[in-house]
Amino acid sequence: MSRVFKLKSSDNETFEVEEAAALLSETIKSSSSTEITVPNVKAEILGKVVEWCNKHAESEDTKDQLIKEWDAEFVSVDQHVLFKLITAADYLQIKELVDQLTQRVGDMIKAKTLKTVEMTYPTFNVEREVQEELKSLGF
Protein backbone atom coordinates (compact mmCIF):
# COMPACT_ATOMS: atom_id res chain seq x y z
CA MET A 1 0.00 0.00 0.00
CA SER A 2 1.72 3.18 -1.07
CA ARG A 3 1.82 6.21 1.13
CA VAL A 4 -0.18 9.32 0.44
CA PHE A 5 1.48 12.70 0.82
CA LYS A 6 -0.29 15.94 1.62
CA LEU A 7 1.00 19.10 -0.02
CA LYS A 8 -0.29 22.37 1.35
CA SER A 9 -0.22 25.59 -0.65
CA SER A 10 0.46 29.05 0.79
CA ASP A 11 -3.28 29.80 0.63
CA ASN A 12 -4.08 26.73 2.69
CA GLU A 13 -5.32 24.31 0.11
CA THR A 14 -4.23 20.70 0.45
CA PHE A 15 -3.43 18.32 -2.36
CA GLU A 16 -3.20 14.57 -1.83
CA VAL A 17 -0.48 12.95 -3.85
CA GLU A 18 0.36 9.27 -4.28
CA GLU A 19 3.86 8.15 -3.32
CA ALA A 20 5.10 7.53 -6.86
CA ALA A 21 4.21 11.04 -7.96
CA ALA A 22 5.36 12.70 -4.74
CA LEU A 23 8.79 11.11 -4.81
CA LEU A 24 9.59 12.86 -8.07
CA SER A 25 10.36 15.75 -5.74
CA GLU A 26 13.74 15.55 -4.01
CA THR A 27 12.46 17.85 -1.30
CA ILE A 28 9.62 15.49 -0.46
CA LYS A 29 11.91 12.48 -0.78
CA SER A 30 14.22 13.83 1.88
CA SER A 31 11.44 15.03 4.14
CA SER A 32 10.67 13.10 7.27
CA SER A 33 6.98 13.92 7.25
CA THR A 34 4.27 13.16 4.69
CA GLU A 35 2.75 16.60 5.17
CA ILE A 36 4.64 19.32 3.41
CA THR A 37 3.82 23.00 3.21
CA VAL A 38 5.09 24.75 0.13
CA PRO A 39 5.64 28.39 1.06
CA ASN A 40 4.99 31.18 -1.45
CA VAL A 41 3.19 28.88 -3.87
CA LYS A 42 -0.53 29.34 -4.33
CA ALA A 43 -3.00 26.53 -4.99
CA GLU A 44 -3.39 27.33 -8.67
CA ILE A 45 0.31 26.72 -9.25
CA LEU A 46 0.78 23.86 -6.82
CA GLY A 47 -2.14 22.11 -8.47
CA LYS A 48 -0.42 22.25 -11.81
CA VAL A 49 2.81 20.88 -10.37
CA VAL A 50 0.88 18.00 -8.82
CA GLU A 51 -0.76 17.39 -12.17
CA TRP A 52 2.68 17.14 -13.81
CA CYS A 53 3.92 14.75 -11.18
CA ASN A 54 0.84 12.54 -11.48
CA LYS A 55 1.23 12.40 -15.24
CA HIS A 56 4.91 11.52 -15.02
CA ALA A 57 4.42 8.92 -12.33
CA GLU A 58 1.83 6.99 -14.31
CA SER A 59 3.71 7.02 -17.60
CA GLU A 60 6.34 4.37 -17.77
CA ASP A 61 8.25 5.61 -20.75
CA THR A 62 9.15 9.28 -20.50
CA LYS A 63 10.47 9.24 -24.03
CA ASP A 64 7.02 8.41 -25.30
CA GLN A 65 5.79 10.80 -27.97
CA LEU A 66 2.44 11.33 -26.23
CA ILE A 67 4.01 12.47 -23.02
CA LYS A 68 6.35 14.77 -24.91
CA GLU A 69 3.35 16.42 -26.50
CA TRP A 70 1.64 16.67 -23.13
CA ASP A 71 4.77 18.27 -21.66
CA ALA A 72 4.98 20.75 -24.51
CA GLU A 73 1.39 21.79 -23.87
CA PHE A 74 2.02 21.96 -20.15
CA VAL A 75 4.79 24.54 -20.49
CA SER A 76 2.95 26.66 -23.05
CA VAL A 77 1.60 28.98 -20.46
CA ASP A 78 1.61 32.65 -19.79
CA GLN A 79 4.98 34.09 -18.76
CA HIS A 80 4.14 34.91 -15.21
CA VAL A 81 2.57 31.49 -14.63
CA LEU A 82 5.74 30.01 -16.08
CA PHE A 83 7.95 31.82 -13.62
CA LYS A 84 5.71 30.85 -10.71
CA LEU A 85 5.91 27.22 -11.81
CA ILE A 86 9.69 27.46 -11.92
CA THR A 87 9.78 28.77 -8.38
CA ALA A 88 7.57 25.92 -7.18
CA ALA A 89 9.43 23.21 -9.08
CA ASP A 90 12.72 24.60 -7.84
CA TYR A 91 11.57 24.56 -4.21
CA LEU A 92 10.32 21.01 -4.60
CA GLN A 93 13.49 20.08 -6.50
CA ILE A 94 11.75 18.30 -9.36
CA LYS A 95 14.70 18.29 -11.74
CA GLU A 96 12.97 17.29 -14.93
CA LEU A 97 10.20 19.82 -14.49
CA VAL A 98 12.72 22.58 -13.80
CA ASP A 99 14.64 21.57 -16.93
CA GLN A 100 11.51 21.65 -19.08
CA LEU A 101 10.41 25.01 -17.71
CA THR A 102 13.82 26.64 -18.07
CA GLN A 103 14.10 25.24 -21.59
CA ARG A 104 10.77 26.91 -22.36
CA VAL A 105 12.02 30.25 -21.06
CA GLY A 106 15.19 29.84 -23.14
CA ASP A 107 13.13 29.11 -26.23
CA MET A 108 10.97 32.16 -25.63
CA ILE A 109 14.02 34.36 -25.31
CA LYS A 110 15.53 32.89 -28.45
CA ALA A 111 12.30 33.39 -30.39
CA LYS A 112 11.96 36.99 -29.31
CA THR A 113 15.52 38.08 -29.78
CA LEU A 114 16.22 36.14 -32.95
CA LYS A 115 15.11 38.94 -35.22
CA THR A 116 17.19 41.53 -33.43
CA VAL A 117 20.22 39.31 -33.38
CA GLU A 118 20.16 38.98 -37.14
CA MET A 119 20.11 42.71 -37.71
CA THR A 120 22.86 45.12 -36.89
CA TYR A 121 22.48 48.15 -34.70
CA PRO A 122 24.89 50.66 -33.26
CA THR A 123 25.79 49.70 -29.71
CA PHE A 124 23.53 51.99 -27.75
CA ASN A 125 20.48 50.86 -29.69
CA VAL A 126 21.38 47.24 -29.15
CA GLU A 127 21.55 47.80 -25.46
CA ARG A 128 18.15 49.38 -25.30
CA GLU A 129 16.50 46.89 -27.64
CA VAL A 130 17.83 43.93 -25.73
CA GLN A 131 16.88 45.47 -22.41
CA GLU A 132 13.37 46.18 -23.65
CA GLU A 133 12.93 42.64 -24.86
CA LEU A 134 14.20 41.04 -21.74
CA LYS A 135 12.06 43.36 -19.65
CA SER A 136 9.02 42.27 -21.59
CA LEU A 137 9.92 38.70 -20.71
CA GLY A 138 10.01 39.64 -17.08
CA PHE A 139 13.73 39.87 -16.46
Closer residue to other proteins (CB): 31 or 40: 40
| Residue from 99, 74, 39, 30 nearest 7 by CA | 39
27 contacts 36 by C-beta, under 8 angstroms: yes
Q: Which residues contact 129 (CB under 8 A, 6 or more apart)?
A: 116, 121
| Residue from 54, 56, 85, 81 nearest 68 by CA | 56
Shortest reach from residue 78's CB to other proteins, in Å: 10
Closer residue to other proteins (CB): 34 or 93: 93
Shortest reach from residue 12's CB to other proteins, in Å: 18
Closer residue to other proteins (CB): 14 or 131: 131
Q: Angle 135-91-37 (CA atoms, 0-180°, nearest 5)?
A: 125
Shortest reach from residue 119's CB to other proteins, in Å: 11
Closer residue to other proteins (CB): 17 or 97: 97
Closer residue to other proteins (CB): 54 or 93: 93
Beta strands in the chain (DSSP E): 4-8, 14-18, 35-37
Question: What are phi and psi for residue 5, nearest 5 degrees?
Answer: -100, 150
DSSP SS3 for 24: coil
Shortest reach from residue 59's CB to other proteins, in Å: 23
Give me the residues that bind other proteins (CB under 8 A), please: 79-80, 83-84, 86-87, 90, 98-99, 102-103, 105-107, 109-110, 113, 116-117, 123, 126-127, 130-131, 134, 138-139
Shortest reach from residue 109's CB to other proteins, in Å: 6
